[in-house]
Amino acid sequence: MSLCVRIIPCLDMKGGRVVKGVRFGALRDVGDPVELAARYAQEGADEIVVLDVTATLEERGHRLDLLRRLRRVLDVPLTIGGGIASVDDALQVLAAGADKVAINSAALATPALIDSMAERFGAQCTVVAIDVSRQSQGFAVLSRAATCDSGRELGAWAAEVEARGAGELLLTSFDRDGTGQGFDLEAIAVARAHTTLPIIASGGAKDEGDLAPAIAAGADAVLAAGMFHSGRVTIDSARRALIQAGLELRT
């Protein structure tokens, strides 16, 4: 007996709608978040991640309302990320219905925010999202929706994030996002070599065949958006592919 591998559909949000793009750009409308999330949960998704890709100030009110509606229908864990810049921000989304909060740019700007969140809410609640891009040597950690190079390197940042008390990493390959080239297995392996925290692999999944290799590379969960939104892959077919690869999934 051990922990099950998790399949996590991701909803990238903009203006109250689910969108999907390529390398964080070229966003197109995919559908209604509550409808999609409820469908994925019903089909057997192990968790749902909602990322506000353009979390502007005026959209925050809408986001809390959306969260409340998502919470009503979702009976699996819900992680919220995007624009969370303080413990107060985190408190608001938790009160509205999130189970876990993902921080990214704010953690890079002020790493002590990870400590504060872990202290206030527990490691169990504190997810650090890391967006990376391949360099000639290693992986650079990007910030501000991958518009800036943070100057940090993946391995060192993963280790620091763990030391500061985070509970989980959401590792996204910017290079692979929306491309269908498969997960960046090397990035997963680098992160895994530097942390014992659970890793959610994200960015690049095209179909069922891409999932098991991410687990073999060191991930504990696979996150995908486009392949589920398009209907190309169902939660069930993803589950069957992982079970066939000899992995345990919940029933």
Residue 214 and residue 188 in contact, taking contact as beta carbons nearer than 8 Å:
yes
Across the strands, what pairs with 103? Answer: 128
| Closest CB 91 distance from other proteins, rounded Å | 9
Instruction: Pick the closest to residue 177 from 148, 145, 136 (CA basis).
Output: 145
Residue 131 annotated as catalytic:
yes
C-beta closer to other proteins: residue 79 or 150: 79
Residue 99 annotated as catalytic:
no
Binding site for other proteins (CB under 8 A): 1-4, 6, 41, 46, 68, 71-72, 74-78, 94-100, 119-125, 167-168, 196-198, 220-221, 248-251
List % helix, strand, coil for the chain (3-state, nearest 5).
40, 25, 35
Catalytic residue among 12, 52, 175, 220: 12
- How buried is residue 95: exposed, middle or buried, by Cβ count under 10 Å (0-12/13-18/19+)? exposed
C-beta closer to other proteins: residue 97 or 138: 97
Catalytic residue among 52, 131, 177, 184: 131
Instruction: Pick the closest to residue 87 from 117, 61, 124 (CA basis).
Output: 117
C-beta closer to other proteins: residue 142 or 219: 219
| Closest CB 149 distance from other proteins, rounded Å | 29
C-beta closer to other proteins: residue 25 or 122: 122
| Closest CB 26 distance from other proteins, rounded Å | 32
| Closest CB 135 distance from other proteins, rounded Å | 28
Q: How far apart are CA 128 and CA 245, in angstroms?
A: 28
Tell me the residue type at 59: E
3-state secondary structure 82-106: CCCCCHHHHHHHHHHCCCEEEECHH
The residues carrying an active-site annotation are 12, 131
